[in-house]
Amino acid sequence: MELSTKPILPGSLVIVKDDNSIYKGYKGFVQRVTKKRAAVLFEGGNWDKLITFKLTNLAIV
């Protein structure tokens, strides 16, 4: 899996790369982007979760 250096925009598929996060390695879709944070939607079969991360802790897949 190759991680890109493209800008993170709404609709992008991203992976969490923060070593301290329980969501490390999870892939989700960006819903909203602010100056330094992005809201990422994770869908896992019977659950959906919207979590906010710093942009530096995300990478485009």
The string of pLDDT tens digits covering residues 30-48 is 999 999 999 999 998 888 9
Q: Which pTM was predicted?
A: 0.86
- What CA–CA distance (Å, rounded) separates 1 from 61? 7
**Confidence tier at 4 by pLDDT (50, 70, 90):** low
Share of the chain above pLDDT 90, in %: 80
What tokens were used for 31?
């819903």
- What CA–CA distance (Å, rounded) separates 56 from 47? 26
Q: Is residue 34 part of a domain?
A: yes
Q: Is residue 39 part of a domain?
A: yes
CATH code where residue 48 lies:
2.30.30.140
